[in-house]
Chains A and B, each alone.
Chain A
Amino acid sequence: MIKDPKIAREVIAKRTALELKDGDIVNLGIGIPTLVANYLPPKVEIFLQSENGLLGVGPAPAENMAHPNLTNAGGFPITFLPGAAAFDSAMSFGLIRGGHVDATVLGALQVDEEGFLANWMIPGKLIPGMGGAMDLVTGAKKVIVAMQHVEKSGAAKIVKKCNLPLTSSRRVNLIVTDMAVIEVVEKGLLLKEVAPQTTVEEVLGATQASLIVPEHVPTMPITI
């Protein structure tokens, strides 16, 4: 099991990056998902889409070069790459809901055994609103959850059944954590890989949902 939280985040971002293909249109959520762009394999070029109306998002600008009208969906300054396009919110969500975004990478509060995701509210505690999450999970071609395997308290995030409000009736496709890669398949959750320095038993111990465990579970093809 990886103990260092910084390395854990790096593992999640590095492994998630391997899911993205050259030419993909990708929407990255806030937090760990944003880091994914830093770990793309060589020769893989993707186009980042931001809900607030840009395709072709570049890296953050130098501090003194932030433009007030060039921000991402978290409100932070960004740059744009050559070939970028700007558009209004209807067109932006036309891209998302219309199935023109190849992949979205999002954080989660919970994912359950059937692949349902809860990531927008904790009743009575945290009600930030769904923003674009419901549209992204419903409309993107591939939905990848990139998150810590368990809560800071140690509580499971991959659960039998979400008890937090769902984000969509559409199931996610893949879960990448600091412990494992889990694919949502017809019959449930399939354990595809374990993280470096992590055993299958550790993954099972940190997961409340049942996992389908093949005879041989490879280690993530990443270096840390």
Chain B
Amino acid sequence: MKDKVIAVERAVEMIPDGAVLMIGGFLGDGTPENIVDALVKSGKKDLTIIANDTATPERGIGKLIVNKMVKKAIVSHIGTNPETQKQMIEGTLDVELVPQGTLAERVRAGGYGLGGVLTPVGIGTLAENNKQKVKINGEDYLVETALRADFALLKAKKADFYGNLTFTLTSRNFNPLMAFAGKVTIVEVQELVPVGGLTPDEVHVPHAVVDYIVRGSNR
């Protein structure tokens, strides 16, 4: 059996410049801060980030923005990070804003082997620009294409050594969806338990989609 538990430095070594990263979290809650900090230290560049938001300048994904490591961000909200807006206006950061529910579904579709989803959200707004529209039973829908990533960087409350995951409260958010959509999925966990330490009903994401585990802390 492959040992999935690795050091945070090893996790970051795998990620090349220009990689497409999905990062879990909602305004930092559920973001793997230790992996992010190691990424910042490594000085990677030209990253594409797919995430709910860009948090705040001193937290989570916000730190990658502040350190100018990101060339493109596919997110639903940037209002809490003035640095994201600044770089967007300066033209050094390409921001694709996606309605939050649509973003969740595009990630889910990517991980679940679908080409995309059809949603009524965004019809009649700027979000429909350059998108295909279809009519089903008389209603208009936007074709929203699936998203995948080279790496999914996630945070879970617990994992066992196989990589079965359990999340807690509002830190779950995009994490379980991204676990399926990363070609390589790396999860920072608050607590590592023995195999059998999680009952089958407690497992929110099965180990099949988890490639590596990094020991983390809760912050």
Contacts and interface: CB of A to CB of B under 8 A. Distances in A.
Contact of A70 (B76, B122, B169, B219): B169
Contact of A169 (B77, B124, B157): B124
Contacts of B218: 68-69
A51 B173 CA distance: 9
Contact of A52 (B75, B101, B102, B173): B173
Contact of A89 (B27, B104, B169): B104
Contact of A69 (B75, B100, B105, B168): B168
Interface in B94-148: 97, 99-105, 108, 119-127
B29 A69 contact: yes
A138 B79 CA distance: 21
* Interface residue range, chain A: 35 or more
A128 B77 contact: yes
Contacts, number: 143
Interface string B82-93: 000100100000
A54 to B, nearest CB: 6
Given A129-B75, A129-B76, A135 B171 contact: no
B125 to A, nearest CB: 5
B121 A70 contact: no
Contacts of B219: 68
A68 B101 CA distance: 23
Interface of A: 50-54, 67-75, 80, 86-90, 92-93, 96-97, 127-135, 138-139, 165-169
17 contacts: A52-B29, A53-B26, A53-B172, A69-B157, A70-B170, A88-B174, A89-B104, A90-B105, A97-B120, A97-B121, A128-B79, A129-B97, A130-B99, A131-B76, A131-B100, A134-B101, A139-B101
Interface of B: 26-30, 52-53, 56, 75-80, 85, 88, 97, 99-105, 108, 119-127, 157, 167-177, 204, 218-219
